[in-house]
A and B are shown apart, each in its own frame.
Chain A
Amino acid sequence: MSQAQGLERLFKALANHSDLIAQAYYEGVVYKDSKNQRALNQLKQLKVLVNHSIDGYRISGRLGQFVDSALSSDRLRRLDTDLASWVDTLEQQILMYQDAWDENRIEDAENYSAEIERVIFDLSDNLEENTSYLLMLINSRFANVRTLAEKKKQNVFYISRVELLVQAISSLRPEYLLEMVDEHPALYALLEEQLMRLLPIYHQRLQDILDKLKTFLFELRKIEERAQLVQGFAFFLRQNPGYEMQDWSEQDTIPEQWNQIKPLQLTLSADTQHYAVEGELIAIVQKLRVDSEALLNKKRKPKINKIETVEREIQVMELPLYRKWLRRYFLLLEQQAGQGISAVSFQQKYVQDIDPALWLGCVLNEWLRQQQRHSKIKMEFIQFASHAAFTGNKKVKDIVLCWREETNNPT
């Protein structure tokens, strides 16, 4: 993509997603949802928005400052000051926030809180950007000049910038700041996450810068071109994490370095017809046979599973009471064939523990079961006199069964 195309893409994105950018500027954060996710990713890739939290985005420091300037915002004051004075501003804002909180001025407290958040993010962005950029310049350019005059000019430039960074980082008093916001967990977390946790990294970068300055302050050095290329490229990739190189493999003429063959998988087979290697092949085959025999000898005899008989205890299930009485009732019917025996009278005479209605149900059920095998038992219902006319229901008060007598003709 050419620079002109890149610029056009940036302006289009700014215009298309102006609502999201405005929200990030005024409210401090835009949260990701299913509708805006793609737009937010694009704006992040273009460095219009940067991460605020896991699912939130804020306006990037530089764009925010540009908007301040364009709108002549009261935040503009920060543009003319240095990083160390931003730390003073942060402390003042925290004090004013605490006063507003104590006096229950909710709206003022919210405004101060938003301003504190912005100062923290601005400080964090600038410390990150300036330390990494200065380190990259020191590594890839410092002292790599031809004349002493150029060298002197460089020394002044780098020393002044290092001084400003040292002042800014020294003026950050971590314990004091964290103590100030001790009673406000959200601000405490923000301060710790965005500034305090990163201080050791900024310190280390400053130390590395200082080491290079000390070494080459009065010396010239030669940095090889390839080193400058790698350092510049690494810095570019850090600044543009979403960068994707062009697909050069789709060009008509493919660049020389990518013209490489597909790795071939080489496999070989023995030529058994070739007399010159006959001896070697026989040796290989014999070895295989020996191996096989050795393996066969080693083969274990399979175990035979032993079958053991286990004598199990036989459990005798006792017949339910009603089954016992049913059996006796039907036995009595058979013994007194040709004579009808009332189920109720049998029940009253022998069976005491079963409800009469339930007993009649059991008798009826057993008679139906016997009917499927033979029709030797005749049944007769004894019904209650029906009072309610046309109900269609029959109410049985007794069942009389009779075992048919044996005749010569079975039908």
Chain B
Amino acid sequence: MFESLVKRLLQGEFICEITDEAGFQYLQNPENFFQVEDYLQRLNYRLASTQNKLSFYAAYIEIDNAARQDIRKVFQQFRLELHPVVEWLDMMMACLKQDAVLSPGDTLAFSSLLQVIENNQALADRLQAFAKFKDFTSNEDSVKGRLEKLLSTLQKWGYLQLANRDTLIYQVTGKLDYFYQSLQFIQEHEEIPVEQGEEEIAQETLF
């Protein structure tokens, strides 16, 4: 377990209960955790986890110029993902008619999503709007084709994992915990006005 786990960490993977259940459980044991941590430290790495401890990944102990260069690439990728992933999370709330956002471990059934979107013009319109983002352009001009493209790109980015190939059931991975952490950080530090008051609409509206 130690060997495969360390290899996956060194290859930049997020280890969570969904992507590697055995590996994740292995790291829950403090003794194992310190063994892996100790090994990584010899390479100037450390074992880091997301804020809710839902996934583990390898991070730098000291950030020198070379490390900064690598981190810049990670950040650029996040920049690319921010807008489409937020839009996807918001859209999923509307599709699933729930007051909670997706969390690691939640499942998404392709057929159910397709049915909801095909019967709702506003959602079909939102799905079509994903084409404006890089990596989401689909050659197929149908709701099914666009939904396939959306889910496959999110799988490629590591936010989803195909849990069942036959029934096309996807599972949300622990990497989403990292995304929420980043989103929270940006909102707080860039003072993004996400709290919309009801009174505001009363003052601004024309009717």
B-contacting residues of A (Cβ < 8 Å)? Answer: 2-3, 65, 79, 82-83, 126, 130, 133-134, 136-137, 139-141, 154, 157, 161, 164, 168, 200-201, 203-205, 208, 211, 221-224, 226-237, 244-250, 254-266
Contact = CB atoms under 8 A, between A and B. Distances in A.
B73 A262 contact: yes
Contacts of A3: 191
Nearest to A80: B206
A65 B206 CA distance: 10
Contacts of B181: 257
Dominant secondary structure of chain A at its interface with chain B:
helix
Given A126-B206, A264-B11, A259 B63 contact: yes
A259 B71 contact: yes
B80 to A, nearest CB: 11
Interface in B5-48: 7, 10-13, 45, 48
Which residue among B60, B86, B123 has the maximum number of chain A CB atoms within 10 Å of its CB? B86
B74 to A, nearest CB: 5
Contacts of A136: 196
B195 A137 contact: no
A255 B159 CA distance: 21
A164 B206 CA distance: 11
A246 B190 contact: yes
B59 A245 contact: no
13 contacts: A133-B201, A201-B125, A229-B184, A232-B195, A236-B192, A245-B82, A245-B190, A257-B182, A258-B71, A259-B63, A260-B57, A260-B71, A264-B10
Interface string B74-105: 11101100110011011001100101110000
Interface of B: 7, 10-13, 45, 48, 50-51, 57-60, 63, 68, 70-76, 78-79, 82-83, 86-87, 89-90, 93-94, 97, 99-101, 120-123, 125, 178, 180-187, 189-196, 198, 201-202, 205-207
A79 B204 CA distance: 11
B56 to A, nearest CB: 11
List 8 A-B pairs, minimum CB-CB distance, nearest first. A232-B194, A263-B12, A234-B90, A262-B70, A249-B75, A204-B122, A82-B207, A200-B121
Nearest to B192: A236
Contact of A257 (B83, B185, B189, B191): B185
A255 B79 CA distance: 14
Nearest to B191: A3
Contacts of B198: 137, 141, 154, 157
Nearest to B199: A157
Contacts of B100: 223-224, 226-227
B28 to A, nearest CB: 21
Contact of A254 (B71, B83, B196): B71
A28 to B, nearest CB: 20
A228 B121 CA distance: 24
Contact of B101 (A154, A205, A226, A250): A226
A245 B87 CA distance: 16
B196 to A, nearest CB: 6
Nearest to A203: B121
Contacts of A201: 121-122, 125
Nearest to B205: A130
Contacts of B205: 130, 161
Nearest to B13: A263
Contacts of A261: 10, 12, 45, 57-60, 70
A3 B193 CA distance: 10
Contacts of B191: 2-3
Which residue among B59, B73, B207 has the maximum number of chain A CB atoms within 10 Å of its CB? B207
A18 B178 CA distance: 44
B68 A254 contact: yes
A233 B183 contact: yes
A85 to B, nearest CB: 9
Which residue among B51, B59, B206 has the maximum number of chain A CB atoms within 10 Å of its CB? B206
A260 B99 contact: no
B11 A228 contact: no
Given A137-B198, A224-B99, A266-B11, 10 more contacts: A82-B207, A204-B122, A226-B180, A228-B195, A229-B187, A233-B183, A249-B74, A250-B72, A258-B71, A258-B74
